[in-house]
Structure 1
């Protein structure tokens, strides 16, 4: 006896679910410039690799004979597949069914995929569009009661931050728990013109007297500058591309090591422009990204959080094929001084590197913490100390290149002083407790005021102190381990990456939180 009738019934139910919210809702999705959840999964994963879980889960309707008459899909599509041959878990919100609201979802589907990713140690990708929370106001009427807020499964969401790479793509308007799911990731992306993210949307916020559009309330520029998400791209296909690229630097889980990539760039390549990229005039700035791109494997720098905490550039890169975490001061923003948001950005990035055992490279040009009333109001010292504490908990291999400034407490935050770290300086390196500029007048006020020519006296003192603070004098005392030709930077960093590769093993001392 064949079971073909049951298989035919299974296919019928799967066909009903595949309609999603129906032709009208699918057309509305397309008219809004957005793909459906199934189209997104198809474009993101390797062709033919998707294995759905819960393919006929939804809300069914039966006649008086208990025969199925209709089946409305759950607005959550979950399963597993591969990206570049590597297994991944995936969950996607279906906005065509009740606008992605939790009224129409089956929460166990998302919980199961989070658990599967955690226990089988494979990366997780969330495709988010909707609220994904406890339901709308109408839920009170449909359920006949108000729910007590609770986030079932958020323990697993949190645990995944310490276990597997998590990517979240905001592909429409996301609010409430949907916004929380977008933020609770190692790498989060919005799509310009399509995405918006907020705790509560414009209709709710309007009750506060704030009449705002979705873009004005939670558009991509707002959320990137606030550090709530890491990147914004021009299209959904671009979002899929950056998700894949991020994962290419990651191991499958925190229990494995990131694989070496292609070795297509000469580790001994020297860039002549590095000899003159730092201006002699300390008041002039320069393009740090130009330096970063010159020393990493060509085309490998993958920046994260570009619009947040802009005094430090953060991203992933490769050195002789090895994936590394990369930080670099940006003198174009506050001269490279650490602001409160820069400290938070650095802390989070170090957490990422420690969690997945990525060696760290830091190109430093830091004049200290930002000073002034607004800086103090931002709690910069508390955030700065927190960043320093994270740095001194880190166990990953570390290499610092001091390319210009290293002053004050923030300047000191360039390595874990309790562990061996490689440290080099360019001839342009300058350091001390405070920069001489502005400090000489205070320290030598009496001498300057007593001089017959105060300006000449100031110049004389500056010349004397500049000779004393020469980086060569520090090297004589081994206060700086090595001063190098800037053109040798890439070679030394590639050697560091090769030395670091076999010692990345070991349990992280702490893990990343959302």
Structure 2
């Protein structure tokens, strides 16, 4: 009897799919589990809404055949991707499979990686990369098996670059990440490493040892190192926390630059006024104070999502909501060098401004900025260059901007409180204190002749200081329309919620002149 239908081919399809689902085999999967790490397929299932992941290219890999053309072995490609949903919203999810050749490129098919990037770009979908392995040019053994070497190039890098200006990109380091894997990590709008489990380096310990430097993976590129230097945005305690923060981060952003961020339901009264804000800024200008509680008191309850807590500590940055609308927040941190801008602080400001501008998030800045760091360290770190880049990013931005001056705004760095070339929602607390430089720093030099001629220089200095203290009152500035409003600190939330609502009229979807700078 002649067989009808395609049962033979369907059986082969199931055989090949089963081989793909087996990944690197039982031993490699067991080793992954023993080391406390999920495998690639488990990660995809844990990240996405239950049952929503649909793989693309599941049959891709490397097969062996006998003389009759029957498949005798199959090694799946070690890069998985597909479409899924997160909180009901379509995304592109990708995962490196470390159980197949340690995530190395010689077990990958580069077109899969490029297609994942293309799918995200062309269809306007957020892209999530779960990275573990090298993902570069393979090992030295690859040269012998290939029989030739080559001039390096990176397939798909153009798509990764373009996507920074197109769709939200999140990168999670979930194991040792080296070479191109490290490059894929930092080419993202939000990146994180799992503490104690993930490390990131240009080249791993064996290669570094050959160059004469011996160190462990943690010593070379542990999560604490890169969360502290800004190579990644954050570190987390577990894979589960990484997935949670990824979902949370994406909740503030549109699916692509062609859309505006969505409003969420808000059950926090716009008029909520925290009484303690009246004394949040000390009268003594030398006393420091924490700014994070102020941020949390102003934004919608439970909406504060800090980014980059461990680096550039002169400012606190993150995402939040005001009356349900997503906003980006930059807040001076007086507890770190009094809020002075270092080179790292300036880079952090620049990065947050670019993220906000790319994805149409109104920007709120809480200012207590005594200026750029000065001295030998500042010059060695090229603070003026990085500070000027941050100011350029501020002036290149096109999103609505609200500024609340909590205390100081001095010098070039202080001028970065808001772009001055368009309408500014600028308000100050009664504690506002600003100028080209602090009075205390320039008083004796400015009045040297008068002090030298005085019978009692100390008394004369006190008299001059008292005169200038009257001039520096923020109300004198308001008289000249040098600041648009002085407000009761308790009303800050209400003022900013009004800004967030009106800002929606000024937001325009579309691609900006450039994407975020990695």
How far did 1:24 drift?
A: 0.7
The answer to whether 1:26 aligns with 2:25 is no
Q: Please show how residues 392-471 of structure 1 align to structure 2 within 5 Å.
A: 392-471=395-474
1:358 aligns with 2:361: yes
Equivalent position to 1:483, from 483, 486, 495: 486
Higher mean C-alpha displacement, 118-127 vs 383-392: 383-392
Give 1:324 shift. Answer: 0.3
1:511 aligns with 2:509: no
Deviations 1:195-245 (A, max 9, x none): 000001111111232211111110111111111100100000000000000
Contact 1:162 1:513 in 2 (8 A): no
Which residue pairs with 1:227 in the alignment? 230
Tell me, in whole angstroms, the C-alpha distance in 1 between the residues paired with 2:300 and 2:248.
15
Residue deviations 1:305-361 (CA, integer Å, cap 9, x gap): 111111111100000000001000001112111111111111111111111010000
Unaligned runs of 5+ residues in structure 1 are none
What secondary structure sits across from 1:437 in the alignment?
Answer: helix
Provide the rounded CA distance (Å) in 1 between the counterparts of 2:217 and 2:241: 22
Q: Is the 8 A contact 1:158 1:513 kept in 2?
A: no
Rounded to whole Å, the distance in 1 between the matches of 2:17 and 2:517 is 38
Q: How many residues align?
A: 514
User: What is the CA distance between 1:171 and its match in structure 2?
Assistant: 0.2
Q: Normalising by structure 2, report the TM-score.
A: 0.98
Give how far 1:506 is off. Answer: 4.4
Contact map agreement 2:363 2:401 (CA 8 A) in 1: yes
Superposed, 1:51-62 pairs within 5 Å as 51-62=54-65
DSSP-derived class of the 2:378 partner:
helix
- Aligned-CA RMSD value: 1.1
Segments of 5+ residues of structure 2 without an aligned counterpart are none
Deviation of the 1:177 alpha carbon: 0.3
| Corresponding residue for residue 53 of structure 2 | 50
What is the distance in 1 between the residues matched to 2:466 and 2:214?
A: 59
Give the aligned partner of residue 335 of structure 1: 338
Q: Which residue of 2 aligns with 1:257?
A: 260
* Match of residue 344 from structure 1: 347
Q: What is residue 95 of structure 1 aligned with on the other side?
A: 98
Query: Match of 1:373?
Result: 376
Determine the structure 2 residue equivalent to 1:133.
Answer: 136
Shift of 1:382: 1.3
- What corresponds to 2:278 in structure 1? 275
Q: Deviations over 1:116-142 (max 9, x none)?
A: 110000000001000000111111111
Q: CA deviation at 1:429?
A: 0.2
State the match for 2:477 in structure 1.
474
Q: CA deviation at 1:389?
A: 1.3
Distance of aligned partners of 1:89 and 1:381 in 2 relative to their CA distance in 1, 3 Å threshold: same
* TM-score normalised by length of structure 1: 0.98
